[in-house]
Amino acid sequence: MRQALSTSAPAEQATKTPSRFGPYDLVRILGQGGMGAVYEAWDSRTDTRVAIKVLRRDDAVSCERFRREIQVLKRLRHKGVVSFLQDGDCGPRMPWFAMELLQGRTLRDYNSELWSQSARDAITLPVHVVGDYDEPIHVCSPRSGPREVSPVASRLKEIGRLYEQVFRAVERIHAEGVTHGDLSPTNVFVRADGSPVLLDFGLAAPGRSEVVPDKDENALQPIAGTAHYLAPEQIRRERIEPRTDLYSLGCMIYETLTGTPPFDALEAAAVLRAHVDLRPTRLSAFWPRIPAALEDLVFSLLEKQQQDRPRSAGIVADRLALIVASEEHGSAGTHQQSLRSCAAIAAGGQRVEAA
Ligand SMILES: Nc1ncnc2c1ncn2[C@@H]1O[C@H](COP(=O)(O)OP(=O)(O)O)[C@@H](O)[C@H]1O
Ligand SMILES: [Mg+2]
């Protein structure tokens, strides 16, 4: 659905990928992202299938990140995080590791299926040109006015439960002192039973409030990550911390609920500027019946300043659980209902003051 606007592109590994890594024989490629390629592989000793991640870059920074990913994954043992199995080296800058082979699809494919009927609409969305910039920033807006019936409507509880589990997994890694730093729909897998799994810890900050080392050194490196999901502080090259992940998750849930990320443009640079300077279109502009509590929660995740976002992933998971529970009891307030009550008050209806 959404083309990844990668912000960095170091040189790709020129050498050919070997067909065997330790005890594992490569079977087929499963996916590749900015940093590595992931293959299905077979362990002939145990007749089991695993996934092998291999670095596709041969620069020192990528190699360092890859080794950090291995260290972080070795530490994290949780059902919401892909399980590490074994690591090794095929050459001086050719580290690899084996992990459990996941069955299911990425969150990106989940979104595509959810919005498949609307895929063409998403491509031809008219854009709002916002801001006084050299190049215009295009902000997605609903194609032909808000939708009374959104593809999300019948699956809101499922989506709420899915994200509640994503936030629980993120709460868990934060408790272990790890900030993921690159949460995006291709870095979250949805198992066949609907439970999410976090992948790709290549940009993880291992300390509770750490960033990419020194600001001057960092300024020389390209901004790493996927433009649509980067937090303002990552773009400004400031300190990242657990609430950086909350911003990325805000972008992801926004995309699942509307079919488009909060900021989109042809150029990654325009998306980055929008994260720093612009407010996204309200979700109710896409779907007026969205529960107000859900829209408010997503907007709180998208706050530009970390201190204005919810304090922890656990708090967000709790709020999502409440929203799902109110959906189950059919009591979630929509913006239309809020507007109706405002209209009633304006027309002389009585306001009920909180005690
Ligand atoms: N354990 C796994 N099982 C199945 N598929 C996987 C697994 N790990 C990764 N993938 C697939 O490979 C893709 C790239 O993996 P990822 O770790 O994100 O690499 P990169 O660092 O290059 O982005 C993922 O988006 C997913 O489609
Ligand atoms: Mg990835």
User: Radius of gyration of the chain from Cα atoms?
Assistant: 21
Q: Is residue 353 part of a domain?
A: no
Note whether residue 249 is domain-resident. Answer: yes
Whether residue 53 sits in one domain with residue 167: no
Largest distance between two CA atoms of the chain = 78
pLDDT in tens, the chain (355 residues): 555 565 544 444 545 778 899 999 999 999 987 778 999 999 999 999 999 999 988 888 889 889 999 999 999 999 999 999 999 998 777 899 999 999 999 999 999 999 985 544 443 333 444 444 444 454 555 554 566 568 888 999 999 999 999 999 999 999 999 999 999 999 999 999 999 999 999 888 765 444 444 444 444 455 667 899 999 999 999 989 999 999 999 999 999 999 999 999 888 899 999 999 999 999 999 989 999 999 999 999 999 999 999 999 999 999 999 999 999 887 555 555 544 443 443 343 333 332 2
CB atoms within 10 A of CB 256: 20
| Model pTM score | 0.83
How far is residue 245 from each of residues 22, 117, 137, 342, measured CA to CA in Å? 34, 30, 24, 35
3-state secondary structure 30-68: EEECCCEEEEEEEECCCCEEEEEEEECECCHHHHHHHHH
- CATH number for position 41: 3.30.200.20
CATH of the domain at 190: 1.10.510.10
Whether residues 143 and 78 share a domain: the answer is no
**Is 230 in the same domain as 314?**
yes
Q: Does 11 reside within a domain?
A: no
Classified as helix, coil or strand, 16 is coil
12 occurs within a structural domain:
no
For residue 251, give both structure tokens.
């972008």
Q: Which ligand is nearest to the CA of 83?
A: 1
Q: Residue for token digits 């992931």?
A: 38
Q: Is the CB of 297 under 6 A from ligand 1?
A: no
In a domain? residue 30: yes
Residue 351: the pLDDT is 33
Ligand 2 centre and the CA of 220: distance in Å? 22
* Domain span holding position 48: 19-101
pLDDT score at 13: 52
Is residue 200 domain-shared with residue 297, that is, in the same domain?
yes
d(CA 253, CA 165): 12
Same domain, yes or no: 78 and 120: no
Ligand 1 mutation pick, 105, 200, 229, 248, max ligand atoms within 8 A of CB: 200
Q: Are residues 181 and 320 in the same domain?
A: yes
Q: 145 and 87, same structural domain?
A: no
Q: In the prediction, which pLDDT does 145 show?
A: 55
Q: How far apart are CA 222 and CA 202, in angstroms?
A: 15
Number of domains in the chain: 2
In a domain, 287, yes or no: yes
For residue 11, what pLDDT is reported? 45
User: Which residue's CA lies nearest to atom 27 of ligand 1?
Assistant: 31
Q: Whose CA is nearest to atom 13 of ligand 1?
A: 31
Q: Do residues 77 and 185 share a domain?
A: no
Confirm whether 229 is domain-assigned: yes
118 shares a domain with 82: no
- Indicate if 167 and 264 belong to the same structural domain: yes
Residue type, 15: T
Phi-psi region of 211 (alpha: psi -120 to 50; beta: other; left: phi over 0): beta
From 83, 101, 119, the end of a domain falls on 101
| 238 located within any domain | yes
Domain boundary among 101, 129, 146: 101
Pick the last residue of a domain from 101, 136, 170: 101
User: Is residue 181 domain-shared with residue 37, that is, in the same domain?
Assistant: no
**Are residues 74 and 115 located together in one domain of the fold?**
no
Q: Which of 8, 38, 197 to mutate to test the pocket of ligand 1 (most atoms within 8 A of CB)?
A: 38
